[in-house]
Every structure is written in structure tokens, then in C-alpha cells.
Chain A
């Protein structure tokens, strides 16, 4: 039932606004609204009850194991939320003079510094609002760098075929053309193909390491050399930074630009799909191009850097500086971890993934890449089950929901047929991993003996499988009254 369907004309009962409407007679009649918007008319209790009940229809980290590959669904410590919502932060107007905003700016400056250290980059900007905007900023900086050198011919970005869809979409948004580089069966980038592909047109290569196939790119040094020798720059997609945090730093691998998804590695909440944060870091030669604003320290004082300080910046990406509330949560999380905690993140995320991979092998599942160490995630391919029992990876995913587990990422990366990309994260205990593997094994048996259970799943959730074709064909994108 929609909130609109709880509505009764004339009802409100929330002591939240002025009782009487003040005069708006100073505004010309022609500019005034004629009909009141048809928002629901409910009591505060009705609203609270409705949205509390809606929340209970969600799977979430706080309620379920959520091994969604490439998304790093780790525990979001409650203190990060509580402390980021202290009144001193919540009531800070973004345009408050810097002298009056020192507490917040100190946190942001420290966050920039810690990100530099953790990734081996020379400078960081917190401006990007999400991973995709971080990518945009990174590629725009690559563009600005080449143009600043009069190197106008570099109009092509190379992207491995295993990459996230955002990589090619971003390159195009920045005005580049895209060339895909194939990946070998062992998960490494095809070096020969890369050598063939680079040239005077190459602006850069966008790479995720460990890759979306869940393995570390072993030829990273050679790749960096090939791209750099061709005059291109190397972009690090930080989606999988959780796997290597404190173990190996993108800057030391030769990357020139990176974005870090703070909502993954640094545990800010995913919030049902945002807000995120895609802070960008750069090597020395790209510092002038970082997006604004940034925070600097002068003596004991912190202040925002603006276009006056950084005339070559690619500019602003939002009205203020990224998503400050998200940045605060990441900062608090990093202070909890400290330098020793950061390394443990990578270690235990990797331990959990390799343990699950070993368990999957033991329980008869086919691994996409069996010969390698897993990073913080690994891939099961269900192509054999699909062929033999006519069940798909999606059927497995839906059945997992019935058994109380959020499904892993399905059908990504696109290179692996009928795949489940599984990322447990470091914050899950062994019994959660075992429980999930038991569930997966149970489903495998069901597939063999009674595949109908899979086809019909889920049965225990608020709805059964939804008709997506109908949703796209008979568009119903907003409530239009009870007709």
C-alpha cells in the first residue's frame, strides 16, 4: 500500500510547520501556484509506521549477509553515523567563513592526507560525489594534462573488457573514444593486445586492480611501462581497493590517477544506492588539475582552496565539496582503523574470500579462475548447472534470497557466463560464510533434484519475481491518484 493510499483529505496532525499561512501578497498573482500539490495527507504516526514497515521489506547489511561482489558491503559502524550527525556538523552552512568552520575542515584535511598515504598518491580531492564522478574527474584530469602540454591528439581511452560499465561511459562523457583490451583466461590483461593498441592517440588506460575477475593483475609494472612509454596515463579504478589496502599502493604500482569509493573501502553506508563518494588522488604531475574545492593547511588554520589558488583545475563538480556527511563518516572509520587496522582490512577480506573459494571448490562448484589466489572476491560460474538442469545464475540468486542471504552480484563481469561474483568483506564471521556456502550447496542439490524450486523462487519475500518487461513497456513511474 502506498503512502498516498493512507491519505485522507484534510488530515495532518504533525506539529511541524506554522499553523497559519503567512501572506504572500508581495508576490504577483501570476507567479503563484494555483493548485496545491497532491502530496499524501497523513498523520505523523501513519508516516512513521508506513516507512518503518517499508524498511522491513529491505535486505541490508544490518539484517543479512550481503556478499555483493564489487560493492564491498561491510559493516557500517553505528558510531560513524552518530558522530557525523553531531549538531556542530549538521548545522554548519557550507559557506560559513573558514575561520568558523575549522573543526570540519580539520577532518577534511586529515582525510585527504590519510587517503594520500593509504594509496601512495601525492594529493587528493574529496570533491567527487560518487565513484562515477570520481572517474569523470580522473579522466577529465587526464584530458587537461595532455592539453596543457599541447598534446591534442590523444583522444582514445583504453579499457579492459572486464571493466565496470562506468569506465567506458565516463570516457565518452569526457569526449574520448574507447578501445577495449581483451583479458586472458587467467584474468590478466592481454599484454600483447595492449602493446598493439597503444600509440600517439592513447590518452590513458583505466584499470581496476585487483580486476573485476577477482584476481591481482600480475603484470601491472609491465602494463604501466607500456602505457607510459606510449605517452599515456594510468587510471586506477578504486572499486576493489579493499583487497589491497595497506598491502600495495596504487601509487607504487605506477598509477597516475585514482578514485577511491569511500562507500566501499571506507565503509560509508550505501543508503539504498547512495550517497557515495569518489575522492580522487593524483601523482605529482597532475596536482594542478584536481577538482575543487580542496582543503589546505596554513600554519594552524585550515582553508578551502578555490579557483584562485588552482587556476588549472578541471573545476567544480557540485555546488559545494562533494558529500561532506559521507566524507565525515569515512574519516571517522579511518580513525577507528588506524594504520594497523587498514592492513587488517585487506588481510581479512582476502582470507574470507579465499576461504569461501576453497569451500566452493570442495563443494563441487566451478570457479571462473581456479588456478589463482582470490583477491577480496571470487567468481563461481554456473554454466554447467545451467546446461544440465536448466537453471540460471539468476535462479540461484533468487533462491538465496529465500534462504535469507542477499545474492552475490550476478552476470557481472560480462566475460563469465552464468556467474556469481562473491565478496564477503572482512567484517563477516566464519559462521556467516559457512551458512552461505551451506545454502549455496543446498540450492545446487535442489537444482539437480527439483529445479522448479529455483525457478519459482523467491517464495518467502514480500513479492515473487517481478515482471520487468511490463515495467519497461507499460511505464508507471508515479502515482496518479486512485483511478
Chain B
């Protein structure tokens, strides 16, 4: 019996102790007419050998194409030690550290995570993580509404340069709370939001503004200027950041030039680039940080350092008075887990890489993207959509439908990027291309060559179609 250790003799002894004739008797409080028939649509059980064969076959079916796709999930190098340690049974099969004395490993690690994340973001406080980047943005918005007591409007400005699936997720999660998510269009030349456009959307009372850095197009927002303006107008700033990018880019805690109000008020984002494999979409984790003044509005778990009876250092879950198991219907959020295991991996990842290693990785991503874009834009009919600097993603405009080009690239073993036509039809035939430190010169050259062939092929097809017409 899979994972059930009982011998016949033990079953008999146990039933005797209980005073029951059979295991079936233990279910005699369930009305018999409601009892389930055989679960015929579930296959019969398998041995480990059989399951392994099935899963290996299925894993083999997935593509091995060279990945130039980003759009919220990125293929980065992860040191072998990271998941070796993370999947040790003591981390892997432990639960929420409610018994602090028996969970010092997880608790101290989480405290170290919080310390690293506040160092990285230059924010005051980090929680123990949220589900993912999109849901952490939703929680950041709910938090801003609770925290900005001077604002009555519950209006949040969200530029359309914020990842579309983040905006959709935020909408799903906050719509029950009468919160108004107001979209701000971007500047067609730069692919960023301008203060003028923001001011056009901004009525008298705005609760918060979301700024993603780098934004979904890979472009860099004018975070200092917008942060200062927001704070002058009693608007909280929610930063959505790529935590790897901010080893090179100005971190959210430093946004703004006005020393008195410096820094985003809340920072969120997806921790995936720091040690989580792409894994078809997760598990990743959402980072959530804030200024000290907002700590009691923070959702989720937080670990604090304290002392034991002997005065020895130790770690506990703290500020639990915010949480659902104490506050029930008055909790700051219904969330009761964090993405513990992924945070474990990410903490080990950050420790091994170090700030310098992460910074060099981020810079390599950026440089590779510049190289790729130069090579692709050397091809006729490929051009950059937006002027200005990028981190490691760039929007390219083509003369032919993106879907067609991406499909043809895929046949050449290139996962060529993200088709923007559904979310941003105004950009025409546009794709978002990404490079991480994993793409070397040969990979980039292979992409450029494939693109050239695909576009030449497409041009021939168009020409021959025109001729035959």
C-alpha cells in the first residue's frame, strides 16, 4: 500500500483497542446512501518505476528551445547548492514555524531573508513573502488603502506599463473592496509614463500610484520625479521591482530626490529571478517591503529576533495580532502562508551569489540585451519601439505579425519573445525580447541568424503572394 506502513497484525490490534470490528465501522457516522462509489475516473496506482517512466516521458515532451522569453519569468543560473540544501527534509517537510523552539532553522533563515530583502530594496521592513509578484502587488494596494488614512478616494493609479497580468490579478483581488484602479497611458516615444500624463489622470485625491521598474517593456520609469510629486500630493508610492535589476538600478527605498520623503512607501515584486527556476510558472514568491511606519499594515508572516529565558538570541513569528488566526474577520489579509521553501532557496541563492555576484549577473543581462537588440535591429524591418535605456528586455517592432514570426523562430529552436499584440494592439507587430546572463554570444548570434532567415522567408512569401495575385 503506497506510503501506509500497517501490517495485518497491527490493524487487528488497533481495531481491538478501538473496539471496532473493521475499519469500515469507523465510518458508520456517514450516511450510507452518500458513500462514494469506486473512483473510476482515477487510474489505478503505480509503482515508483512506472511513475518515473511516465513523468520522464512527459518532461521530454517540453521544448528545449533557447529562451529569449521573459515577461515576468526569467531563466537565470542557480547555483547547484541552492536546491540541494533547500530540499533537505528538514526544510522541505517542516511546517509553519508555530512551535518556535522547534523551528529555529526556518525562523532564522526567514529573518535573514527579511534582512537581505530590506538591504536589496533599501526599505525598512520586509515580510516573510507573499504568493508571487502579481499577488504581492494586489496586497500592496490593499495595504496602501489601509495605510493612507488622509486619502478617502480609494483610487490607485496604475500605468499600463505595469505587467498586464499583474494588473489583472490586482483587479481580481481588490475588486471586492470598492477600490478604483485607474489606468494611466504611457508615452508612445519612451514607453514610460510621464508626469504630465499622470497629472491628467490625477484628480484631487489619489490614494497611491504603482510604478514598475523596469516596466513591462523593459524601459526605465522616471521614478525620482514621480515619487517626489506623489509625496507632495499625499499619494503613496508602490514600487513593483525586479529584485535582481535593483542590484544595478536605484532601489525603491532610494526613489525621490526630496530627502524628507525619500523612498517608495511599499515595494513589491516577484522574487523568481533570485533562485527560483522558471518551472512553468512557479512556485515563485512575492516580495513585500515597506517603510517602518506602515509595518502594522503589512499582511502575511513576519519574523522577529528576540531572546529566550536565558537571554539567548532566538527568532519567532511576530506581530501576529494582524493575522487571520487571531483577528479572524478583522485581519489585514486572509493569507496565512508564505512561499517558505522558495524563500529558503532565494536566501541561500543571495548568500552564495553575494551582492557583487548579483550585480555582475544583472549587468550581464543588460549587456546581452543591448547586444541582441543591436544585432536584431541590424536586420531590415526590425526596429526598437522605444527610445531610452532598458534593463534586460526590449520591445521590437516588426513588419509582419508577431505570432507568425515567433512560430517560425520556434521551428528553428528559438523561443523568441513575448507577443505584445493582444495586450498592446497599438504597438502593431511587436515582441518583447529578453536576455539573461544565460544567453552567450553564440546564442545571441543564433537568434539574429534565425530572425534574418525567418523574415527573409516571410518577405519571399509575401512577394510570391503578390506576384501570384
Contact = CB atoms under 8 A, between A and B. Distances in A.
B340 A274 contact: yes
B460 interface: no
A272 B341 contact: yes
B250 A168 contact: no
Task: Identify the interface centre among B13, B98, B295: most chain A CB within 10 Å of its CB.
Answer: B98
B30 A252 contact: no
B46 A97 contact: no
A28 interface: yes
Contacts, number: 672
A94 interface: yes
A450 interface: no
A43 to B, nearest CB: 9
Nearest to B65: A100
Interface in A116-144: 116-118, 120, 129-133, 135-136, 140, 143
B316 A412 contact: no
B375 to A, nearest CB: 15
B109 interface: yes
Contacts of A84: 55
A81 B42 CA distance: 22
Given A83-B55, A334-B42, A168 B172 contact: no
A232 interface: no
B206 interface: no
B401 interface: no
A66 to B, nearest CB: 7
A86 B59 CA distance: 7
B19 interface: yes
Task: Identify the interface centre among B79, B90, B331: most chain A CB within 10 Å of its CB.
Answer: B90
B87 interface: yes
Q: Size class of B's contact patch? A: 35 or more
B359 to A, nearest CB: 6
B56 interface: yes
B106 A4 contact: no
Interface string A57-101: 111111100101001011111010101111111111111110011
Interface in B312-359: 312-316, 318-321, 323-331, 333-342, 344, 347-348, 350-359
Contacts of B28: 373
Given A31-B250, A221-B31, A477-B295, A465 B366 contact: no
A54 B354 contact: no
Contact of B43 (A60, A169, A174, A339): A339
B353 A14 contact: yes
Contacts of B323: 165
Q: Size class of A's contact patch? A: 35 or more
Nearest to A457: B101
A23 B95 contact: no
Interface stretch (A102-110, A194-202, A280-288, A385-393): A102-110
Contact of B26 (A17, A133, A320, A354): A354
Contacts of B118: 478
B63 to A, nearest CB: 4
Contacts of A44: 79, 81, 352
Given A275-B283, A317-B135, A477-B114, A63 B90 contact: yes
A95 B282 CA distance: 12
A146 B86 CA distance: 44
B59 A165 contact: no
A435 interface: no
A92 B324 contact: no
Given A47-B348, A68-B95, A336-B48, A129 B58 contact: no
Contact of A467 (B10, B41, B306, B336): B306
Contact of B304 (A60, A175, A252, A476): A476
Given A39-B120, A335-B43, A467-B307, A319 B270 contact: yes
Interface string A15-51: 0111111111011101111101111111010011011
B63 A113 contact: no
A415 B88 CA distance: 37
A461 B101 contact: yes
Interface in B213-256: 220, 223-224, 246-251, 254
A90 B277 CA distance: 6
Nearest to A475: B304
A362 B17 CA distance: 9
Contact of B63 (A96, A220, A342, A428): A96
B18 interface: yes
Nearest to A135: B334
A397 interface: yes
Nearest to A82: B52
A317 B105 contact: no
A325 B325 contact: no
B40 interface: yes
Contacts of B353: 14, 16-17
B45 interface: yes
A238 interface: no
A171 B370 CA distance: 48
Interface string B75-107: 101010101010111111111111111111110
B131 interface: yes
A12 B328 contact: no
B324 A132 contact: yes
A3 B391 CA distance: 30
A218 B51 contact: no
Contact of B115 (A12, A322, A479): A479
Interface stretch (B66-74, B194-202, B260-268, B442-450): B66-74
A412 B336 CA distance: 15
Contacts of A335: 43, 45-46, 51, 54
B46 A350 contact: no
A461 B102 contact: yes
Contacts of B254: 33-34
Contact of A269 (B19, B92, B122, B389): B92
A62 B104 CA distance: 16
B152 interface: no
Closest 7 CB pairs of A and B: A62-B89, A338-B45, A320-B281, A88-B59, A271-B341, A94-B281, A103-B61
Given A59-B99, A103-B58, 4 more contacts: A247-B30, A275-B285, A325-B283, A463-B312
18 contacts: A12-B354, A27-B248, A33-B250, A37-B355, A42-B351, A113-B41, A129-B131, A130-B337, A220-B34, A247-B30, A269-B93, A339-B40, A344-B1, A362-B17, A468-B318, A478-B119, A479-B112, A479-B115
